[in-house]
Amino acid sequence: MGAAIRDLDEEQTVALTRAMLDSGERWQLSRDFPNLTDKHSTGGVGDTVSLVLAPLLAACGIPVAMLTGRGLGHTAGTADKLESIPGLRQDLDRESALRALAETGIALGVATQAIAPADRRLYALRDRTATIDSLPLMVASILSKKLATGAAAIVFDVKTGDGAFLPELGKARELARRMVEITRGLDVKASALLTDMDQPLGEWSGHAAEVREALDCLEGGGPRETVELTVALALELVRLTEADLDEAALRAALGSGRAREAFVRWAVAQGAERAWFDRPELVLAPVERPILAGRTGVVRRVATKRLGELLGEAGGARRTAGGELDRGVALRYRTRIGREVESGEELARVYLREDEPWLVGRFAACFEIDDRAEPRQLVVGRVD
């Protein structure tokens, strides 16, 4: 409570982060892979960037290790999405991470309980004392886990806007600044991009659907916004590691399918069924309902956080710790803010397990049509 009320300066935050980091294992993977990279996102809706970024970089010779997480609040977790792939194992310790990196250039998975155990205890206390959004405590929590793998360079994707944990741009920028400074204070290269989360990033939101969309991106397709943000974050890591790559090389890896093959090699190395990738099956919940524009005009606002919450209420999130979630529940985002639409035009489509008109109505209420809208910029700032 004292840290939340009075704040912590940089030296104090470094000390707290280091103490939490040292409470558990430190893998120091960059001793074996000197240009090892990592990426952290503060969470959003329809955000598949981690699933695209890692194989893209690996296909270009830059190794990536990420400790994936479960869903939190209105956001879906990368670990939960990856469980849509049959046979994939995500239990990751230092030895298995080194083996995956040596074989494929990628290590993605859920960390052992030995990583930053102090963070779990302190997070529980923060939950009970309403100090979750304390910036220094947030920074120490994120970095104590992120730095445990020992990456040489980290890029942070800090979301701002309606669907972000810190909607206000000023607070998001301050979080980004602190994470970059503390990370560099602990001798790891870092930078951050501030990115828009006033609407879903990609076309699909939902665990299985997002995996399928990531595969589309990895072979030269997929939503433009997802690809553009992935390339922007990749270029940050290229710069931090001083790799001999440019934007054209990254886009060529996507267009040629090399990035998709890197993803498949990694998944198979961690137990996935190779045959599944020949015809990746997308099993959606059976009740399909369109969300239509109520009037002619311009899409002015999308209640993005509420969309994520509604997907969770429909079964796309765990009701209790360790509970089941429905990976077939999904939303297909068919428009963008600023787009002109006609009355009755489809804005989105939801896939639900049961026919619940009241729930469809709540999804529809998340879209606001007006006479004009402010233009959106995908990357709204950079912290270096």
126 is catalytic: yes
- Among the listed residues 30, 38, 40, 144, the single catalytic one is 40
- The sign one gets for the Cα dihedral 253, 257, 262, 267 is positive
The catalytic position among 141, 144, 191, 205 is 141
Residues 68/82, Cβ–Cβ less than 8 Å: yes
Catalytic residue among 38, 47, 80, 119: 119
To the query of whether residue 171 is one of the catalytic residues in this protein, the response is no
CA 365, 369, 375, 378 torsion-angle sign: positive
Cross-strand bridge partners of residue 157: 41, 193
Taking CA atoms, 201 is separated from 29, 120, 168, 337, 356, in Å, by 31, 29, 18, 11, 26
User: What are the two backbone dihedrals, phi and then psi, of residue 347, each rounded to the nearest 5 degrees?
Assistant: -95, -35
Other beta carbons within 10 angstroms of residue 381's beta carbon come to 15
Given 126, 159, 189, 305, which residue is catalytic? 126
Give the up-direction half-sphere exposure of residue 209: CA atoms within 13 A in the CB hemisphere: 25
Phi, psi at 364, each rounded to 5°? -65, -35
- Nearest CA-CA partner of 264 in 48, 47, 51: 51
Answer yes or no: 145 catalytic. Answer: yes
Q: Is 260 helix (H, G, I), strand (E, B) or coil?
A: helix
Rounded CA-CA distance 317/86 in Å is 20
Active site residue 326: no
Whole-angstrom Cα distance, residue 291 to residue 329?
15
Question: 211: phi > 0 → left, psi -120 to 50 → alpha, else beta; which?
Answer: alpha
Rg, Å, the chain Cα set = 20
Alpha helices by DSSP H, the chain:
2-6, 10-21, 49-59, 78-82, 94-104, 117-128, 135-146, 169-185, 207-218, 224-241, 247-255, 258-269, 304-311, 357-364
Catalytic residue among 145, 173, 178, 189: 145
The token pair at 112 is 């052992």
CA count, 13 A, side-chain hemisphere, 47: 29
CA angle centred on 57, ends 54 and 62, rounded to 5°: 115
Whether 141 is a known active-site residue: answer: yes
Catalytic residues: 40, 119, 126, 141, 145
